[in-house]
Amino acid sequence: MAAKNLYFVGTAGCGKSTLTYAFQLWMQEQGFDAITVNLDPGVEELMYSPDVDVRDWVEIEDIMKEYGLGPNGAQIAAADMMALNIKEISEVIAGFDTDYVLIDTPGQLELFTFRQSSRVIVEELGIDDSALAFLFDPSVARTPNGYVSSLMLAATVHFRLPVPMLLLMAKADMLKDSDKELIDSWSRDHYALFSSLMDESRDAQTAVSMEFLQALESVGAGRAVVPVSADSGEGMQDIYSAVQMSLEGGEDLE
């Protein structure tokens, strides 16, 4: 059975690295093997030691010195250089006998998902065995318009990388129970979200949010958002179950 690739994707500061590590520890506690892969060439420190680290091939400081680029230009160049090195990186990953490959993507979401190099990377690592875990930032998604903004971004990422995707409310331990219940109702019932949008405001932003929701409804793209917490362990079983359902039809690992 081929290893499953799970990409943790989201905006800067949403908790991708923390959740990557927490899910690896949870997998190991369940008796499954999981390795971590860092795909952020610009990260300075990680709370875990990745089994495979893109910085062994591509590093921002080296690119800045060699090509005379600033930090932003170097990040863009690095995103493309990752694709140029992906065959070698893939060979190293393939050398591990593991159940899951947990992939920590760059902090700047656009550098991974909005460049053609990202598709090259996903295809080389095995697109048929891959899923995305898109992290909502609770500081943004706790309001109706912020929640819809997060949905818009998730939909764009899914359009760019058409593999199974699960939506996660990261750092759920930061939310009050009432906020979690409200977000859960928004994710399962667009009418509840429509109502909250109208209660929040009736400005141009809300009008755009409502039009986007109507478009989502027309293609049946609504899906539940799973609350997860790296600190409390909430939602780890749900992540595992969702990925197994998407990639193995719900069949558990042996």
> CA 71, 73, 77: angle at the middle one, nearest 5?
115
Q: Domains of the chain (ranges plus CATH)? A: 4-248 (3.40.50.300)
Report pLDDT for 219: 46
Asked if the model's pLDDT at residue 223 lies above 80, the reply is: no
Q: What is the pLDDT of residues 31-71, one digit of tens each?
A: 999 999 999 998 888 999 999 999 999 989 899 999 999 98
| Sequence letter at residue 196 | S
Bridge partners of 251, per DSSP, are none
Ramachandran angles phi, psi of 171, nearest 5°: 50, 45
Per DSSP, 224 falls in state: -
Cβ-contact 213, 3 below 8 angstroms: no
pLDDT digits (tens, 9 = 90+) for 9-33: 999 999 999 999 999 999 999 999 9
For 79, phi and psi rounded to 5 degrees?
A: -60, -40
Q: What confidence tens digit (pLDDT) does each residue in 182-198 have? A: 999 988 887 788 788 77
Nearest residue to 196 (alpha-carbon basis) of 139, 135, 146: 146
| Beta carbons of 79 and 39 less than 8 angstroms apart | no
Please tell me the predicted confidence (pLDDT) of residue 215: 67
Q: What 3-state DSSP class applies to 101?
A: strand
Q: Is the per-residue pLDDT at 113 higher than 50?
A: yes
